[in-house]
Amino acid sequence: MKYFKLLIVAFFILLQLTCNKKTTKKVDLNSTTTEIINNKNITVDTIVKTLGNLELQKRKINIGKVKRGRDVIYTFIMKNIGSEDVKLVSQQTSCNCTAIDISKIVIAPADTVSITMKVTTKDKGLGKHNVYTVLTTNGQHKYYNLEIIFILIE
């Protein structure tokens, strides 16, 4: 019994030490990283910021009332107003109900990219919903938040 108590105490001490352990990750500025967006493998420079700058026509759209079961689809347009290419590094949605389709990964100066968000509503509760997608780029602005607002009705 004495050894069992000692074993339990040692376990909790070890657990506490591992939970408080901070992890750090070194980044090699000369390396490249492969990301997958829309099932396409792309290679992007890590941390290398360009003079490219994406301008978003609309950051937020309020669709209004939507019947449950109908998909909410909206396409956001972004234009590169900078002097160098901008690469879309990653995207993150606020829920599993959202699918993203991106027309291109690298946006040349004066070129545009279409980002289509499709929200499936069949499993959502009634009421107001705000669905987000955050795009990460290597341009002057690193993060872009795209938002669709709608009210789900029967």
Task: Give me the CATH number covering residue 51.
Answer: 2.60.40.10
Q: What is the C-alpha to C-alpha distance for residues 85 and 113, in angstroms, rounded to an integer?
A: 12
Q: Establish if 72 belongs to a structural domain.
A: yes
The strand order across the sheet containing 86-93 reads: 60-67, 143-153, 127-137, 86-93, 106-107
Amino acid (1-letter code) at residue 9: V
pLDDT of residue 57: 86
Q: What is the C-alpha to C-alpha distance for residues 119 and 98, in angstroms, rounded to an integer?
A: 4
How many domains is the chain built from? Answer: 1
pLDDT of residue 11: 57
Which residues are paired to 72 by β-bridges? 119
pLDDT of residue 86: 93
pLDDT of residue 51: 80
Question: Can you list the residues of the chain whose pLDDT is less than 70?
Answer: 1-49
The residue segments making up the domain with residue 148 are: 26-153
Q: What is the pTM of this model?
A: 0.66
Q: Establish if 1 belongs to a structural domain.
A: no
- The single-letter DSSP state of residue 126 is S
Q: Among the residues of the chain, which ranges form H helices?
A: 2-19
Token readout for 36 is 């997958």
Q: What is the torsional sign of CA 29, 49, 114, 68? A: positive
Amino acid (1-letter code) at residue 96: N
Among the listed residues 65, 85, 100, 81, the one whose alpha carbon sits nearest the alpha carbon of residue 137: 85
pLDDT of residue 131: 95
Residue 90 CB coordination number (10 Å) = 14
